[in-house]
Amino acid sequence: MATSVAQTPRRGTVRRLAGALHTRTRLRLSLLLTAPLLWLVVLYLGSLSVLFVSAFWTTDSFTSEVVKVWSADNFHALFTTPVFRQVIVRSMGVALAVTVLCAAIAFPLAFFTARVAKPKWRPLLVVAILTPLWASYLVKVYAWRLILSEGGLADWMLNPFGLSGPGFGLTATVLTLTYLWLPYMILPIHTALEQLPANLLDASADLGARTWRTFRSVALPVVLPSVAAGSVFTFSLSLGDYITVQIVGGKTQMIGNLVYSNIELNLPMAAALGTVPVVVIVLYLLAMRRTGALTSL
């Protein structure tokens, strides 16, 4: 009897609290977002802050110990040392090349899956596009290493034409990264083309527009934000990659490789190198925001 009496005030308190949350949607939303926002601020933004702060420290040249003395020497070295400048420019060039290749390959594939293929086959084609994402990253990269190696599949296919495969190097890196991130470009373009009203294409044809004019004036403005959304993935993932370069890049180096090689010997320099892709990606996101890409993600 005493237990039921004690539970009655508790039930009344829970009901009043539930009623208050039901009527105050902003409070309810704030409580729901508190945990993930704390996770984001403490772990993600906190780690980025530590990365940025440690980039201003120095290293004892004799013991390789980190000296917590504020200095901008690491950033000065990034822009004055030819090797660092070349690696930064090369990394950005690889990311842009992968993005352009993904867009060029993705558009015809997405157009076929969204507009040409029969409706009953479209879900299966989308699954086929997603299938490579289910395989292990390392398995896919090592498969490309076998394809591009001397006497591999690339050489076997090109030998009848008197040619040979690209081997390991910058070209192999771009090809492998293009294969890895291509689905991230196909899916947003497929979605945009699937939502494109068919009567717009029919009206363009009825008005005498040819295929290229229809693509340029009707399809491209609709698909362009989705292309920009896909480029956010292909560009950022390629810029920060370092495993693919180690496996198929030969002597090629990118920012990720320099970060990895400097972690043990010069942690502040590795942190300074790590801030470069972060800043570049933030600037890239700000540029893509104007195209409406972020709403298409």
pLDDT tens-digit series, residues 136-186: 899 999 999 999 988 888 888 888 888 888 888 899 999 999 999 999 999
CA distance 210 to 212: 6
pTM of the model: 0.81
- CB-based contacts of 220, cutoff 8 Å, min separation 6: none
Give yes or no for residue 269 having a pLDDT over 60.
yes
Residue range 231-260: mean pLDDT, rounded: 88
CA-based nearest residue to 75, from 256, 279, 218, 263 = 279
Distances (CA, A) of 160 to 125, 155, 174, 211: 32, 9, 24, 36
Which is more confidently placed, 70 or 173?
A: 173
